[in-house]
């Protein structure tokens, strides 16, 4: 089993705030851009970090 590093989550909502600032200060160029901004603002992001798995020779423990 190979492990991979997960992509980090935006726990501070920095990206959401950036999109909100763009959407409030600018007018969308077209319907596609408006829909894109709306989708990004309405997307519900996870607010907790990824679970951490610890493995031993005897059992696997997963903390959430």
Count up the domains in the chain and report the number. Answer: 1
Range of the domain at 35: 11-40
Domain assignment present for 24: yes
CA atoms within 13 A on the CB side of 31: 0
Domain assignment present for 50: no
pLDDT higher at 52 or 12: 12
- The model carries a pTM of 0.51
Domain assignment present for 46: no
pLDDT reading at 3 higher than 80: no
* First-to-last C-alpha distance (Å) of the chain: 20
pLDDT reading at 31 higher than 90: yes
pLDDT recorded at residue 2:
67
């Amino acid at each position: 089993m190979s492990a991979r590093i997960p992509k980090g989550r935006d726990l501070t909502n920095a990206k959401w705030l950036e999109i909100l600032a763009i959407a409030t200060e600018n007018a969308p160029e077209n319907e596609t851009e408006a829909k894109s901004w709306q989708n990004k603002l309405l997307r519900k992001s996870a607010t907790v970090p990824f679970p951490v798995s610890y493995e031993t020779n005897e059992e696997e423990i997963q903390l959430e």
